[in-house]
Structure 1
Amino acid sequence: MIPLNAPHWQTTDWQQQYRDMIRSPEQLWQRLALDPGDRPDIQTALADFPLRVTEAFVAKMQPGDWSDPLLLQILPQAQELNDQPGYSNDPLQEAASNPVPGLIHKYRGRVLMVTTPACAVHCRYCFRRAFPYNDNRASQDDWRAALDYISAHPEINEVILSGGDPLSAPDDYLHQLVDRLAALPQINTLRLHTRLPLVLPARITHGLIDALTRPQLHTVIVVHANHPNEIDSDTVTALLELKRAGFTLLNQSVLLKGVNDCAKTLTSLSKQLFDCGVLPYYLHVLDKVNGAGHFHVDDAKAQQIMQQLLASLPGYLVPRLVREEPGQRSKTPLALR
């Protein structure tokens, strides 16, 4: 039941909340009681990567605090325009692993489908912020090329739905796509990577669960939580609904300077996720995409944080510290000192 005093955005369905997302700095300043005169540099970064964030995610931020760890993830900053050595628009060289529109094949037994370019939040560290989505439109016509490619590679047994965010797509679209994938006898695992349980928890509906559920598929949902403040009661409800549906729930985080680069924060995150039926999976060092250099945490600090996590958490709540390197057959673990 929706409380009588609930904010307007909370009384609408997920599609309306998606349409009503915040798209201008002025809206964000108003919601968070921030003085734009304190940060005159914001506008310069918007031309490169526009602002997108849901009211549900902004509601978890601390008003008046420019250093709020959730705000920092979506806050445009002028330093995004600084050229930095080693950074590029395609840090994982996905263009070299894009054999047909909408499909990326980097690892032998699995492929990734770019289900939609749409997302309910623009994270400033996103490694696909410059991805050529117009060349990878995943229309139903494009499914044929992707499905034919999968069929021609019998070693592929897992399909990963990504984007954008795959849960930004309508239920009917996902239902039809999952039907087509489930019809391929070689596919036994469906994996989805999503931020929506965190930024738009109203998206987790019975219709969505029905669209993703197939008895012949093991369905894995990887949420992308970076900070414990992202987990409020609505997100807990959404995650528990997915867990009750029988999906395997994992989390992967990106290690971000000023957001979660301390063991205390990541320890709390692992514990809160576990309470929702989610197990830690990966802790990624930053992918070096243009515009994200201000989030960089050096390897020595990352390794120190991992040592502290190992000392404070049981092994099943410790994510693996990894980086993704182009051309490698898997994620590359960072050895601990």
Structure 2
Amino acid sequence: MIPARPLFSHIGQTASPGSGRSWLAIWRDSITDPRELLHLLGLEGQADALLADGDTGFRVRVPRGFVARMQWGDARDPLLTQVLPAAAELLEAPHYSSDPVGDMDARVGTGLLHKYAGRALLIATGSCAIHCRYCFRRHFPYAEETAASGQWREAIDYLRKSADVDEVILSGGDPLSLATPKLAELTRALAEIPHLRRLRIHTRLPIVLPERVDGELLDWLQTIPLPKVMVLHANHANEIDETVAEACQRLRDAGVSLLNQSVLLRGVNDSADALAELSERLIACGILPYYLHQLDRVQGAAHFEVPDAQALALIAQLEARVAGYLVPRLVREVPGASGKRAVRS
């Protein structure tokens, strides 16, 4: 395995999580003040120019270990760009909405979405370890639409009666932000449904808070009798340091298949160099590049959009540089469609 290289050490003691602390304690110590975030990176003098002048309606949350992977003094750092509230978020953009992928139209129960044949998606929680500014569920009504709030009963009843559903997808929020005993309660119930064949977990925590992959979580994963696929979410190679690589190795040792889906983001990964390095870093950690999503058009995120023509050109450049299995599929989610739709010229 090729080790992921550390980026810098300027703020190591200030921003790193420290050893011997639980993942929950590290999460609770996350940065929630954008000015503190800029201070840690030596950018406090640029705060007025960089930050949104008003309430975006979407709070900041960034684990300190993720901050430690950012480049000191770089206002355009690709990791910082993903989490810093910008003035552009306050602009109303045409054709952008609060529910860009039709989640509410696919609702079949509290916190349960059934969009595609054979698969149902369960909103396990509204909590995330990190608040990404392009999040397509940044306006989602989590207070009313979280399956865990009803002890999973409504979701489990629907799945038990739906013999055509053979795969359950845990999403959110981030399902791994739930306590492990709560996750175990859910998967015990799922394991009793005879027609389920796979469990898929969509999560960003092993990337942004690798301490979450602790002994308790691994023990839980090994007790699940269903085949397990974990779809991670990394957008840039700099997100993957040695702590992330080690966490992914532990997941693989626990029998979890690892895929990655990224979002194509202006100012983050909109170059062939960035995409190629991300794919190489992923495969070095045993993670297969899976999807490269065109931006879901959620209000507040229009400044991240990359035009389709540019996206297709980037994929063509990537195909010329790396092995075919390192080229993710360029897709977009279209409300009401039967699956993710390939972006074509």
* Contact 2:56–2:85 (CA under 8 A) maintained in structure 1: no
Task: Determine the C-alpha separation between the residues in 2 that align with 1:103 and 1:159.
Answer: 10
What's the Cα RMSD here? 1.5
Within 5 Å, give how 1:128-139 maps onto structure 2: 128-139=137-148
1:142 deviates by: 4.4
* 1:126 partner amino acid: C
Q: Which residue of structure 1 lines up, in the alignment, with residue 18 of structure 2?
A: 10
CA distance in 1, matches of 2:343, 2:277: 22
- The match for 1:76 is 85
Partner of residue 292, structure 1:
301
Letter in 1 for 2:116: Y
Who is 2:109 aligned against? Answer: 100
Corresponding residue number in structure 2 for 1:206 = 215
- Helix, strand or coil for the counterpart of 2:260? strand
Q: Can you give the 5+ residue segments of structure 2 that lack an aligned partner in the other structure?
A: 1-11
Query: Could you say what secondary structure the match of 2:109 adopts?
Result: coil
- Does structure 2 conserve the Cα–Cα contact (< 8 Å) formed by 1:90 and 1:289? yes
Task: State the distance in 1 between where 2:224 and 2:187 align.
Answer: 12
Amino acid at match of 1:102: G
For structure 1, which segment, 48-57 or 38-47, has the greater mean C-alpha deviation from structure 2 after superposition?
A: 38-47
Given the superposition, is the C-alpha separation of residues 310 and 47 from structure 1 closer, same or farther in structure 2, using an over 3 Å criterion?
A: closer
> What is the match of residue 323 of structure 2?
314
Q: Which of the numbers 174, 179, 188 marks the counterpart of 2:183?
A: 174
1:55 to 57, 64, 68: 64
Measured after TM superposition, the shift of residue 43 of structure 1 is 4.5
- For the pair 1:147 / 2:156, whether they are aligned, the reply is yes
Shift of 1:37: 4.1
Give 1:28's match in structure 2, choosing from 28, 37, 43. 37
Residue 40 of structure 1, CA deviation: 4.0
Q: How far apart, in 1, do the equivalents of 2:151 and 2:225 lie?
A: 24
Give structure 1 stretches of 5+ with no counterpart.
Answer: none
Inter-CA distance 276–137: structure 2 relative to 1 (3 Å threshold):
same
- Matched to 1:258, the amino acid is G
Q: Normalised by the size of structure 1, how large is the TM-score?
A: 0.95
Distance 1:182 1:44 in 2: 49
1:273 aligned onto 2:282: yes
| Percent of aligned pairs sharing the same letter | 48
Using a 3 Å threshold, how does the CA distance of structure 1 residues 101 and 142 change in structure 2: closer, same or farther? farther
Matching residue within 281, 291, 313 for 1:282:
291
Structure 2 CA distance for aligned equivalents of residues 163 and 232 of structure 1: 25
Whole-angstrom CA distance in 1 between matches of 2:270 and 2:145: 34
Distance in 1 between the 2:177 and 2:189 partners? Answer: 19
For the pair 1:248 / 2:257, whether they are aligned, the reply is: yes
- Partner secondary structure for residue 253 of structure 1: strand
SS of residue in 2 equivalent to 1:174:
helix
Query: For residue 62 of structure 1, what is the amino acid of its counterpart?
Result: Q
**In structure 2, what residue type is equivalent to 1:205?**
D
What is the TM-score with the length of structure 2 in the denominator?
A: 0.93
Moved over 6 A (4+): none
Aligned-partner Cα distance in 2 for 1:186–1:38? 53
Question: How far apart are residue 211 of structure 1 and its match?
Answer: 1.7
Give me the whole-angstrom Cα distance separating, in 1, the residues matched to 2:77 and 2:34. Answer: 16
The answer for the alignment partner of 1:220 in structure 2 is 229
Does the Cα contact within 8 Å between 1:52 and 1:121 map onto a contact in 2?
yes
Distance across 1 between alignment mates of 2:247 and 2:159: 32
**Residue 46 of structure 1, CA deviation:** 4.0
Shift in Å, 1:215: 5.4
The residue identity in structure 2 corresponding to 1:123 is C
Q: Give a deviation string over 1:94-128, Cα, whole Å, max 9, x none.
A: 11111211111101101111111110100000000
Distance in 2, Cα, partners of 1:334 & 1:210: 39
In structure 1, distance between residues paired with 2:224 and 2:85 = 43
Which of 19, 25, 34 is the equivalent residue of 2:28? 19
For the Cα contact (< 8 Å) 2:35–2:47, is it kept in 1? no
